[in-house]
């Protein structure tokens, strides 16, 4: 693997390899000195054009735990505010010779464009409403830890499917791992043609059949219209609360949670919720992705080479 732009860059075996490696990295986090020299001397550039709490901090921690050097670049406060384009920014920062660029932007397809402008490996950390492959990988990791396997598991993804890059990557990854996926939400928040990809429901009447309930946030930042009459009415029909969530079900959410909208307080703190485990998995899974991209068969050549006299 040269870049990770979409879950479709992987197959089931590729996902399993990354997750098996991630599991071996859990041991590093348990040490007193939480660092191994695996990526010493390699440079990782975190390029974030959109806000992020979990993804950005866990990529930074992942790179540092593997001893890579990290450059954090946030678009706000940079020359992007002065009108510098994405291409010019990437080309400018390429002068620092990064081995890997982790990029998040509000633009669909931006990570793929960046992959065409640089010799570094590229990880898509979210491109608009398109994909967020490392989120899906950490979700599969969390479910493997909880259920043993996703084979035959019934997973319901509930909420704003239309604007969710997490939904797109998770549907692909969960199905690749053998799960049956159903999406549920208001008709205005489920893209047309979704039936070709998975089961579609417009209510939660049969939610009891799910083994896993994956709730999504309303992606207001990507909405140009109002898609639901009000958040209160949305919550009345689609909120996962103590009444709707069964004790045997697993509850997931990618964060950030809007308490009282897609999730009621009582389920966020329930034993069924694995939201904290998802965040924890983010570090080891991203360590495994960085490791794979920088040391695998198709890894880019190290940016800095030492000339050896003939």
Write phi, then psi, for 287 (nearest 5 degrees). -60, -45
What part of residues 255-284 is at the interface with ligand ASP (CB under 6 A)? 255
Q: Which of 126, 128, 133, 159 binds ligand ASP (CB under 6 A)?
A: 126
What is the smallest separation between the CB atom of 68 and ligand ASP, expressed in angstroms?
A: 23
The answer to whether 104 is annotated as binding is: yes
The answer to whether 302 is annotated as binding is: no
User: How many residues of this chain interact with ligand ASP, rule: CB under 6 A?
Assistant: 7
Torsion angle in degrees (nearest 10) through CA of 93, 96, 97, 98: -70
What is the smallest separation between the CB atom of 80 and ligand ASP, expressed in angstroms?
A: 19
The residue assigned the tokens 């309303």 is 218
Report CA Rg, the chain.
20
Contacts of 42 (CB under 8 A, 6+ apart): 68, 69, 99, 100, 294, 302
What is the smallest separation between the CB atom of 103 and ligand ASP, expressed in angstroms?
A: 13
Site for ligand ASP contains 166 (CB under 6 A): yes
The answer to whether 242 is annotated as binding is: no
What is the smallest separation between the CB atom of 248 and ligand ASP, expressed in angstroms?
A: 26
Q: Which of 3, 42, 132, 168 binds ligand ASP (CB under 6 A)?
A: 132
Q: β-pairing, 100-105 with 69-74?
A: unpaired
- Counting Cα atoms < 13 Å in the Cβ hemisphere of 196 gives 3
Instruction: Note whether 140 and 177 are within 8 A (CB).
Output: yes
What is the DSSP secondary structure assignment for residue 130, as one 8-state letter?
S
Query: Tokens in use for 298?
Result: 């198709």
Site for ligand ASP contains 133 (CB under 6 A): no
Write phi, then psi, for 236 (nearest 5 degrees). -60, -35
Query: Tokens in use for 180?
Result: 């049956």
Site for ligand ASP contains 300 (CB under 6 A): no
What part of residues 210-229 is at the interface with ligand ASP (CB under 6 A)? 217
The answer to whether 246 is annotated as binding is: no
User: In the complex with ligand ASP, which residue's Cβ is closer, 121 or 254?
Assistant: 254
Site for ligand ASP contains 163 (CB under 6 A): no
Positive or negative torsion for Cα 112, 118, 120, 125: negative
Write phi, then psi, for 123 (nearest 5 degrees). -115, 130
What is the smallest separation between the CB atom of 151 and ligand ASP, expressed in angstroms?
A: 26
Name the region of 226 (left: φ>0; alpha: ψ -120 to 50; beta: rest).
Answer: beta
CA 163 to chain CA centroid, nearest Å = 14
Closest residue to ligand ASP, judged by C-beta, is 217
User: In the complex with ligand ASP, which residue's Cβ is closer, 245 or 252?
Assistant: 252
User: In the complex with ligand ASP, which residue's Cβ is closer, 39 or 137?
Assistant: 137
Instruction: Note whether 136 and 15 are within 8 A (CB).
Output: no
What is the smallest separation between the CB atom of 221 and ligand ASP, expressed in angstroms?
A: 8
Site for ligand ASP contains 254 (CB under 6 A): yes
What is the smallest separation between the CB atom of 50 and ligand ASP, expressed in angstroms?
A: 7
Q: Which residues are annotated as a binding site for carbamoyl phosphate?
A: 54-55, 104, 132, 135, 255-256
The residues binding ligand ASP (CB under 6 A) are 126, 132, 165-166, 217, 254-255
Q: Which residues are annotated as a binding site for L-aspartate?
A: 82, 165, 217
């Amino acid at each position: 693997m040269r870049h990770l732009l979409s879950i479709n860059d992987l197959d089931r075996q590729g996902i399993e390899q990354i997750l098996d490696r991630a599991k071996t990295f859990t041991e590093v986090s348990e040490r007193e000195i939480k660092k191994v020299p695996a990526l010493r001397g390699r440079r990782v550039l975190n390029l974030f054009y959109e806000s992020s709490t979990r993804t950005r901090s866990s990529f930074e921690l992942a790179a540092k735990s593997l001893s890579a050097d990290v450059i954090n670049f946030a678009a706000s406060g940079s020359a992007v505010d002065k009108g510098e384009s994405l291409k010019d920014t990437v080309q400018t920062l390429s002068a620092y010779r990064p081995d890997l660029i982790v990029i998040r932007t509000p633009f669909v397809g931006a990570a793929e464009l960046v992959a065409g402008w640089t010799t570094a490996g590229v990880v898509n950390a979210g491109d608009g409403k398109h994909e967020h492959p490392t989120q899906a990988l950490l979700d599969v990791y969390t479910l493997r830890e909880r259920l043993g396997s996703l084979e035959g598991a019934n997973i319901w993804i509930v909420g704003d499917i239309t604007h969710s890059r997490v939904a797109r990557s998770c549907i692909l990854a969960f199905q690749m791992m053998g799960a049956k996926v159903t999406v549920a939400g208001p008709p205005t928040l489920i893209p047309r043609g979704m039936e070709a990809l998975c089961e579609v429901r417009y209510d939660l009447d049969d939610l009891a059949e799910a083994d896993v309930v994956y709730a999504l946030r309303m992606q207001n930042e990507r909405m140009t219209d109002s898609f639901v009459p009000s958040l209160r009415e949305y919550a009345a029909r689609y909120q996962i609360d103590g009444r709707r969530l069964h004790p045997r079900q697993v509850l997931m959410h990618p964060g950030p949670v809007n308490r009282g909208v897609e999730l009621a307080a009582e389920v966020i703190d329930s034993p069924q919720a694995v939201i904290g485990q998802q965040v924890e998995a983010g570090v080891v899974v991203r360590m495994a992705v960085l490791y794979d991209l920088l040391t695998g068969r198709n890894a880019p050549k190290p940016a800095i080479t030492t000339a050896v006299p003939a």
